[in-house]
């Protein structure tokens, strides 16, 4: 593309059209520009258009934005877009700095971002002229007193240097950092000192002139310049104290201290002026925070002055809601000091009292902003309040300061805060309606200052007696009949209940449960969310031994009203997809005895919600809990008696069909897992509607989406178990094994392939699979030869063990050796893989299966009993003993594994999400053998009896002394002898 008048005119018209209110005009222009971007020199020509002062600013700005985006997409070569040529890149780099510095502020911003795009990839090694050019331009701008230009340069440098904050300090990064320090550290200090002098001069002028708007306007770019200098300081010092900054620490710290101590009335008289000065102070405090954390020894000489300055600033600033960030940053600095060796700065009752009275309590009290957030954005309020994402709020950071001080002055802090809490409760008692915030503050202090115990399951506090505080302060709020009155106080009380749930006696909790259930009807989204969360968390409480404290019998008396209130809570505005409520529904259904009317109502309500979310799946957390709730309801209702399955079929089958027919991508894996549940619980014969789905399942097209594959395998396993005889029809088994072959040939799905194969072996007789056995071994050994991953080999050994258990050692050995007639393929597999992998097997059922199968091999198979190969028998037994040797861990086999929580990062990312409640129940293929250790020693004793004296000799020769001792200990335990 040539940069001529005609081209510039065409581009100008296109950029103007991109701003058109008419959609068709915008699309035409965007299409043209997208095609033009593939032409050589497009970026250079657009940059030329930006440089034309005669072109309208609106067009130039649109062109600058387009140029920036063009660089983002094409500066680095990709496989999809035509990259910018190296020649064009060099031309762009030669002119962009000068053009940026001479442009208007809006265009300058876009070009600065474009420059950063280049810098992130090319600076410094492929753009050695950039830093010298920036330094020269900075010096020239300083001489001209052009702070518009100065701030453009500093803003660009700040963006480029940010990489030092976010990357690990590798050798390459350290080299780049040194280059930047050598070139920019001295100019940075010079402009910082120079600007400081101009600020002082301007302040004196304003004072003598009585202050005027023009003079105040002059201060703004100066303060912005200082803020940018501070941010660059932070980046260049992030990985340690550079020599230049150590040598000039006095100058830097002197200037920093000045901005914390000095007030600037001309600027601070207005809200935006105050914000500008506070932004500089925040940057300064973040710098001294950095030095306190990383350069404590060098910084300690300045610490006392900074602590005093920050303290005084904080007492003033924290009174203003608008100075939130300054308040939080300042408290963080004091918190760092409180946990350092310089905590003595806070020693003394007077100082501690001032911290409590002047800093902590004022910032813990509710503010109007907190109430507003509570009312209009309950999701954000809960994220900050109950999920621990409130570290950047005044309330939480003030409590963190107290925690920090309490590390060294625990008794004093406990006494002072305890007195404050008592005073607050007295004030509330005098007039609860007017002073409810005092009680809220007291509860918040107790909850926020509580510490988690080492086991992580409970919390403790020295501030109060939990039982007394709960009974006297919290319970009255929970028992209040007005669920809508003082909602923030109710929410705080529920939060206390959640926090200390492990310490509150079971009988007290059971008595209060109807009150908590009643709060599900509160109109406040936060309150009914906290009530749901409280119930859900209580159902997770464990007693000694890991057994649940609350069982189905505990919630049965109020189960109908509980479920009614939970589903009613989903009808409140903005709570239609409330994840806390749905998580509670899921948890209750996983614990309760659901049958009859309760089950029918629940499935109807869940189906109604499912119908709605299928229209627009937008909340992945809520939707996951929704599907878990459905799966949990099916499992609990049908695990003892599958007769209710017809009710679930009638409600769910059309939903599943809808998801598949309308291709609701996000829900397809869930639908397949629910369908697998239904298949497992239905009674034979399987109806035609299910067989139609089975036919669809066998189609290769169904397996194209990787996110669907695990769920499809789960469904296929359900069909194979429920209807094994259907596999004999119309080459169905052949198609199933084709699916197995495709899955097992790829590392990412190899385990899923074995799931299919194992299910076939478990459910079909040898006469049925005989025609396909050769195909199975060929597929497995081809993969074993080409890519023998550890996971694949383990799965192979487990499969061979299952094959042996189902069809005997002879069928296993002969079918494998038939792959290579005349050879000993099984012996090779045994020596290279089975014996070697045996000791790596984990999992209760897998371990038992392997032990029993391996025992049968050495006691029944001619391959192992061959007198000419005693070493193979000895090696196999040695591996078996190794597998049995690790000490057994204490287990609670009776307990059901806890359902894993789904993280907040979960989303529709094209990956499979497992439904815990719809998972396939593991079955023990050797359930008739209760103790595999006893089975081993009794089998060995029986074998040894057939050929006396042979096996003790082999054991002594081929098994080391440690394993021999372990084996003979087993024999002693089971009163067996190998002779």
Decide if 527 contacts 490 (C-beta within 8 A).
yes
E-strand stretches of 431-517: 451-452, 459-460
pLDDT of residue 692: 85
Judged against a pLDDT cut of 50, whether residue 909 lies above it is answered with no
- Name the average pLDDT for the chain: 90
Query: CA nearest 870: which of 972, 963, 949, 977?
Result: 949
Decide if 971 contacts 941 (C-beta within 8 A).
yes
Cα–Cα dist 91/118, whole Å: 12
Q: Tokens for 586?
A: 């899921």
In this prediction, residue 888 has a pLDDT band, given cuts at 50, 70 and 90, of very low
Cα–Cα dist 525/519, whole Å: 10
Judged against a pLDDT cut of 60, whether residue 335 lies above it is answered with yes
Judged against a pLDDT cut of 80, whether residue 866 lies above it is answered with yes
Q: How far is CA 179 from CA 118, 125, 327, 755, in A?
A: 18, 10, 36, 56
- To the nearest 10°, report the CA torsion of 717, 718, 723, 729: -40
Report pLDDT digits (tens) over 340-352: 998 888 888 888 8
**The residue count for the chain:** 979
Q: Which residues, in sequence order, are CB contacts of 738 under 8 Å at separation 6+?
A: none
pLDDT of residue 886: 59
Judged against a pLDDT cut of 90, whether residue 723 lies above it is answered with no
Cα–Cα dist 425/417, whole Å: 12
Q: What share of the chain has pLDDT > 70, as a percent?
A: 95
Judged against a pLDDT cut of 60, whether residue 901 lies above it is answered with no
Measured from the Cβ of residue 798, the count of other Cβ atoms closer than 10 Å reads 21
pLDDT of residue 304: 94
Q: Tokens for 63?
A: 């062109």
In this prediction, residue 890 has a pLDDT band, given cuts at 50, 70 and 90, of very low
Q: Tokens for 376?
A: 């209009």
Residue 366: strand, helix, or coil: coil
Q: Which whole number is the average pLDDT over 886-898? A: 45
Cα–Cα dist 227/251, whole Å: 16
Q: Tokens for 838?
A: 């045996």
Cα–Cα dist 525/487, whole Å: 9
Cα–Cα dist 461/180, whole Å: 50
Cα–Cα dist 611/240, whole Å: 57
In this prediction, residue 912 has a pLDDT band, given cuts at 50, 70 and 90, of low
Q: Tokens for 978?
A: 């190998």
Establish whether the linkage from the previous residue to 685 is cis, with ω within 30° of 0.
yes
Cα–Cα dist 716/710, whole Å: 10
Task: Give the domain ranges of the chain.
Answer: 301-451, 788-886+906-978
- pLDDT top residue among 884 and 762: 762
Judged against a pLDDT cut of 60, whether residue 887 lies above it is answered with no
Backbone angles phi, psi at 328, to 5 degrees: -65, -45
Q: Tokens for 276?
A: 């500008």
pLDDT of residue 455: 60
In this prediction, residue 278 has a pLDDT band, given cuts at 50, 70 and 90, of very high
Q: Tokens for 821?
A: 């007639």
Cα–Cα dist 750/734, whole Å: 18
Query: CA nearest 322: which of 274, 385, 285?
Result: 274
In this prediction, residue 908 has a pLDDT band, given cuts at 50, 70 and 90, of very low
Backbone torsion region of residue 850, taken as left when φ is above 0, otherwise alpha when ψ lies between -120 and 50, otherwise beta: alpha
pLDDT of residue 440: 95
Judged against a pLDDT cut of 60, whether residue 835 lies above it is answered with yes
Judged against a pLDDT cut of 50, whether residue 904 lies above it is answered with no
Q: What does the DSSP 8-state code read for residue 3?
A: -
Decide if 946 contacts 655 (C-beta within 8 A).
no
Report pLDDT digits (tens) over 246-274: 999 999 999 999 999 999 988 888 888 89
pLDDT of residue 77: 85
In this prediction, residue 689 has a pLDDT band, given cuts at 50, 70 and 90, of confident
The alpha helices in 238-270, defined as continuous H runs, are 243-247, 249-261, 265-268
Report pLDDT digits (tens) over 407-420: 899 899 999 999 99
Q: Which whole number is the average pLDDT over 944-956? A: 89
Establish whether the linkage from the previous residue to 124 is cis, with ω within 30° of 0.
yes
Q: Which whole number is the average pLDDT over 216-228? A: 91
Query: CA nearest 310: which of 363, 251, 341, 355?
Result: 355
Cα–Cα dist 429/427, whole Å: 5
Judged against a pLDDT cut of 90, whether residue 976 lies above it is answered with no
In this prediction, residue 390 has a pLDDT band, given cuts at 50, 70 and 90, of low
Report pLDDT digits (tens) over 772-830: 999 999 999 999 988 888 899 999 999 999 999 999 999 999 999 999 988 889 999 99
Best mean pLDDT range from 155-169, 228-242, 453-467: 228-242
Q: Tokens for 543?
A: 């007693």
Residue 65: strand, helix, or coil: helix
């Amino acid at each position: 593309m040539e940069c001529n008048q005609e081209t510039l005119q065409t581009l100008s018209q296109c950029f103007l059209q991109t701003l058109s209110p008419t959609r068709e005009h915008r699309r035409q222009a965007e299409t043209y520009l997208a095609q033009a971007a593939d032409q050589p020199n497009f970026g250079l020509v657009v940059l030329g258009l930006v440089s034309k002062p005669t072109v309208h600013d609106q067009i130039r700005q649109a062109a600058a934005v387009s140029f920036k985006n063009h660089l983002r997409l094409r500066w680095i070569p990709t496989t999809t877009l035509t990259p910018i040529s190296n020649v064009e890149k060099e031309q762009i780099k030669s002119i962009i700095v000068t053009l940026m510095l001479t442009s208007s502020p809006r265009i300058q911003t876009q070009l600065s971002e474009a420059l950063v795009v280049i810098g992130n990839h090319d600076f410094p090694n492929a753009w050695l002229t950039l830093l010298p050019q920036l330094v020269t331009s900075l010096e020239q701008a300083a001489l001209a007193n052009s702070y518009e230009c100065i701030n453009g340069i500093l803003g660009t440098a700040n963006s480029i240097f940010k990489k030092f904050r976010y990357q690990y300090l590798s050798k390459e990064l350290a080299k780049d950092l040194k280059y930047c320090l050598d070139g920019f550290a001295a100019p940075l200090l010079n402009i910082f000192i120079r600007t400081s002098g101009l600020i002082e001069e301007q302040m004196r002028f304003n004072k003598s002139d009585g202050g005027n708007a023009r003079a105040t306007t002059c201060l703004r770019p100066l303060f912005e310049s200082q803020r940018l200098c501070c941010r660059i300081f932070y980046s260049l010092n992030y990985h340690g104290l550079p020599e230049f900054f150590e040598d000039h620490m006095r100058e830097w710290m002197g200037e920093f201290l000045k901005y914390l101590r000095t007030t600037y009335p001309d600027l601070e008289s207005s809200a935006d002026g105050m914000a500008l000065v506070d932004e500089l102070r925040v940057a300064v405090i973040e710098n001294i925070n950095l030095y306190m954390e990383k350069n404590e020894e060098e910084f300690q000489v300045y610490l006392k002055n900074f602590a005093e300055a920050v303290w005084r600033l904080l007492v003033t600033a924290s009174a203003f809601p608008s100075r939130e960030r300054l308040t939080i940053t300042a408290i963080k600095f004091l918190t760092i000091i409180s946990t350092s060796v310089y905590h003595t700065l806070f020693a003394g009752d007077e100082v501690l009292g001032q911290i409590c009275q002047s800093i902590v309590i004022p910032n813990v009290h509710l503010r109007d902003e907190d109430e507003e957030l509570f009312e209009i954005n309950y999701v954000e309020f809960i994220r900050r309040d109950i999920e621990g994402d409130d570290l950047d709020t005044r309330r939480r950071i003030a409590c963190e300061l107290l925690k920090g001080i309490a590390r060294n002055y625990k008794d004093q802090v406990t006494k002072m805060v305890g007195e404050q809490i008592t005073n607050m409760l007295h004030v509330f008692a005098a007039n609860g309606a007017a002073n409810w915030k005092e009680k809220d503050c007291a509860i918040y202090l107790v909850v926020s200052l509580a510490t988690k115990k080492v086991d992580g399951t409970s919390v403790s506090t020295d501030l109060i007696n939990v039982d007394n505080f709960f009974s006297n302060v919290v319970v009255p709020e929970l028992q209040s009949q007005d669920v809508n009155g003082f909602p923030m106080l109710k929410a705080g009380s529920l939060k206390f209940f959640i926090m200390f749930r492990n310490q509150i006696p079971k009988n007290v909790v059971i008595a209060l449960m109807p009150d908590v259930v009643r709060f599900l009807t509160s109109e406040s989204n936060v309150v009914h969310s906290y009530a749901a969360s409280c119930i859900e968390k209580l159902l997770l409480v464990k007693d000694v031994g890991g057994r649940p404290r609350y069982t189905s019998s505990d919630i049965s008396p109020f189960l109908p009203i509980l479920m009614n209130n939970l589903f009613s809570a989903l009808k409140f505005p903005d709570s239609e997809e409330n994840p806390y409520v749905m998580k509670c529904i899921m948890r209750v259904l996983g614990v309760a005895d659901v049958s009859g009317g309760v089950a029918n109502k629940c499935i109807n309500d869940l189906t109604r919600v499912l119908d709605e979310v299928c229209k627009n799946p937008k909340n992945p957390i809520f939707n996951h809990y929704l599907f878990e709730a459905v799966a949990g309801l099916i499992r609990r209702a049908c695990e003892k008696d599958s007769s209710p399955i017809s009710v679930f079929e009638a409600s769910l089958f059309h939903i599943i069909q809808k998801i598949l027919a309308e291709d609701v991508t996000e829900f397809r894996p869930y639908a397949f897992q629910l369908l697998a549940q239904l298949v497992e619980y239905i009674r034979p014969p399987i109806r035609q509607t299910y067989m139609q789905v089975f036919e669809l399942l066998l189609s290769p097209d169904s397996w194209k989406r990787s996110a669907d594959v695990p769920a499809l395998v789960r469904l296929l396993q359900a069909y194979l178990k429920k209807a094994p005889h259907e596999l004999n029809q119309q080459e169905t088994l052949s198609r199933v094994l084709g699916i197995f072959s495709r899955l097992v040939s790829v590392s990412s799905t190899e385990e899923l392939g074995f799931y299919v194969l194992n299910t076939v072996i478990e459910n079909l007789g040898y006469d049925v699979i005989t025609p396909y056995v050769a195909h199975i071994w060929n597929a497995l050994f081809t993969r074993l030869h080409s890519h023998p991953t550890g996971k694949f080999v383990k799965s192979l050994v487990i499969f061979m063990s299952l094959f042996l258990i189902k069809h005997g050692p002879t069928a296993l050995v002969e079918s494998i050796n038939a792959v290579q007639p005349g050879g000993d393929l099984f012996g090779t597999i045994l020596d290279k893989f089975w014996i070697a992998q045996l000791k790596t097997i984990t999992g209760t059922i897998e371990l038992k299966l392997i032990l029993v199968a391996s025992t049968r091999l050495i006691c029944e198979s001619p391959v192992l009993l061959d007198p000419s190969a005693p070493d193979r028998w000895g090696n196999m037994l040695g591996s078996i003993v190794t597998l049995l040797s690790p000490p057994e861990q204490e287990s609670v086999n009776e307990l059901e594994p806890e359902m894993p929580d789904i993280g907040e990062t979960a989303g529709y990312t094209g990956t499979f999400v497992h439904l815990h409640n719809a998972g396939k129940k593991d079955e023990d293929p050797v359930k008739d053998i209760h103790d595999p250790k006893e089975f081993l020693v009794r089998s060995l004793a029986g074998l040894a009896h057939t050929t006396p004296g042979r096996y003790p000799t082999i054991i002594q020769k081929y098994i080391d002394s440690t394993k021999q001792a372990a084996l003979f200990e087993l024999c002693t335990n089971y009163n067996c002898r190998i002779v």
